[in-house]
Amino acid sequence: MKEYDIILPLYYNDGSPIELNKYSDLAEQLVGQFDGATLYPHPGEGYRQNGAGLTNDKTVTFRVLSGNTRKAKSFLTKLKDRIKKDFRQEEVLIIQRDVETV
């Protein structure tokens, strides 16, 4: 089984907040594909170095599980492109890890 974390910004690059409906629309897509999704709504702080110095983002995370890695990766690869467009981001981080349930 694989676990996927989708790290999403709370603000566009210009500092304006991302509309809440974008997160609920994404939740519906994830539930439709994976039969469930968990949103970790407490903002995390992401930091990165760029040409202008250190920047930070406030983020939230969606988590999904899948036993079908090939199908999940195909879906998430396409979804990542849509998220980048909808959230106006140059990049979106999706983390995949092995998990074992009890």
- Model confidence pLDDT, tens digit, residues 60-76: 999 999 999 999 999 99
Domain housing 16: 2-96
**Structural domain contains residue 102:** no
Tokens of 47: 């930091």
- For residue 8, the model assigns a pLDDT of 96
pTM, two decimal places: 0.90
Between CA 33 and CA 28 the distance in angstroms is: 9
**Structural domain contains residue 60:** yes
Half-sphere exposure of 29 (CA within 13 A, CB side): 16
- Model confidence pLDDT, tens digit, residues 71-94: 999 999 999 999 999 999 989 999
- Domains contained in the chain, number: 1
- Model confidence pLDDT, tens digit, residues 51-62: 778 878 899 999
**Structural domain contains residue 40:** yes
